[in-house]
Amino acid sequence: MKPSHVCSLFALVCSTAVSAESYVIGVEKLAFAPHYSIDAQGQYQGFARELFDLFAQTSGVELSYKVLPVEQLLPALLDGQVDLKYPDSETWAQAQKAGKTLSYSQGVVEYVDGMLVAPQRQGQPIEQIKRLAMVNGWTPWGYQERIAAGQIELAYSDDLRQMIRQALRKDTDGAYFNVVVATHYLDSIRARPGALVFDAKLPHTRGSFHLSTVKHSALLKRFDRFLSERQGEVAALKNKYRVEANLDSEYMGLEQWKVDFLERQKAKAISE
């Protein structure tokens, strides 16, 4: 075989090997910090980015991220435009997934979606909720019957910022969203920690985010092993970004010093 042919064959083998270990994760074009967000340059960042980068570094695979509007993400996975989708869940978009075989990783991170209300409204019954702030595309699980019966009116917003503004101005009786994300926004961006608090007595949903794929189930098994074998590093990332902070607390997502401050304020109010 001529040298040029040997070089061409070697290049082809190398190219095939690289291609076999390169994957594209479809991710949401959404401000969803601390889980993930898109910076001014269009780059994916946050907890999920660091987690997947760590997986790539320790597993010998190459990952890239394709940022897509939320409504385009699942079709892109089903059409083969991306290799994997994050986040995902078996319970999401079941009608769109009908007839398709998807594989899912184990749970990456736990979450709670629920109602955030002004502190003075916390503990009030669901019958007191007459107007609910929502971001377009979200489903207020646990409230559908009352909405269908006309007992709760929905006030839609284009994004988290608008929704929180409605709730803070008391245009609504509360806001339904991912509790850690909404709390992070109030704490770190609006600098209003505790202005709205999670009401665990109202309907809410617990679940976990997963990585999904149509064609690369073997890669998901490697990812599951990574989550198991690197538990310490994964836990450190969760702690860094506080994506599971105080999941069983009314102060979900807040830093501990803020929790202590709010507890002192509550105790002071009771004693007066």
- Which residues does 82 contact at the CB level (< 8 Å), separation at least 6? 24, 25, 26, 66, 68, 73, 76
* pLDDT for res 189: 74
71 and 119: one domain? no
> Quick check: 158 pLDDT over 70?
yes
96 and 155: one domain? no
180 and 120: one domain? yes
* pLDDT for res 258: 62
Instruction: Supply the CATH number for residue 173's domain.
Output: 3.40.190.10
* pLDDT for res 248: 63
Is 12 inside any structural domain? Answer: no
Each residue of 204-226: pLDDT tens digit? 999 999 999 999 999 999 999 99
175 and 88: one domain? no
Helix (H) or strand (E) holding 114: strand 109-117
Is 4 inside any structural domain? Answer: no
**Domain with 119 in it:** 112-206+248-271
* pLDDT for res 18: 46
70 and 125: one domain? no
262 and 237: one domain? no
92 and 173: one domain? no
177 and 200: one domain? yes
Specify the residue for token string 């189930």.
217
Is 3 inside any structural domain? Answer: no
Query: For 79, phi and psi rounded to 5 degrees?
Result: -90, -5
Quote the tokens at residue 173: 């009786």
Q: How many structural domains is the chain composed of?
A: 2
Separation CA 66–CA 28 (nearest Å):
8
Residue 56: what residue type?
A: A
29 and 77: one domain? yes
Burial of 176 (0-12, 13-18, 19+ CB in 10 A): buried
* pLDDT for res 225: 97
| Average pLDDT of the chain, as a whole number | 87
Percent of the chain at pLDDT > 90 equals: 70
94 and 218: one domain? yes
> Quick check: 13 pLDDT over 60?
no
Is 100 inside any structural domain? Answer: yes
138 and 191: one domain? yes
Is 188 inside any structural domain? Answer: yes
Among 44-48, 106-110, 148-152, 195-199, where is mean pLDDT lowest?
A: 195-199
Among 90-94, 192-196, 259-263, where is mean pLDDT lowest?
A: 259-263
Is 223 inside any structural domain? Answer: yes
48 and 93: one domain? yes
> Quick check: 9 pLDDT over 70?
no
* pLDDT for res 204: 93
Is 10 inside any structural domain? Answer: no
Residue 133: what residue type?
A: A
Going by the DSSP 8-state scheme, the letter that residue 246 receives in this structure is T
- Which residues does 167 contact at the CB level (< 8 Å), separation at least 6? 116, 117, 118, 133, 174, 175, 196
48 or 123: which carries more pLDDT confidence?
48
Average pLDDT over residues 74-95: 96
Separation CA 245–CA 254 (nearest Å):
7
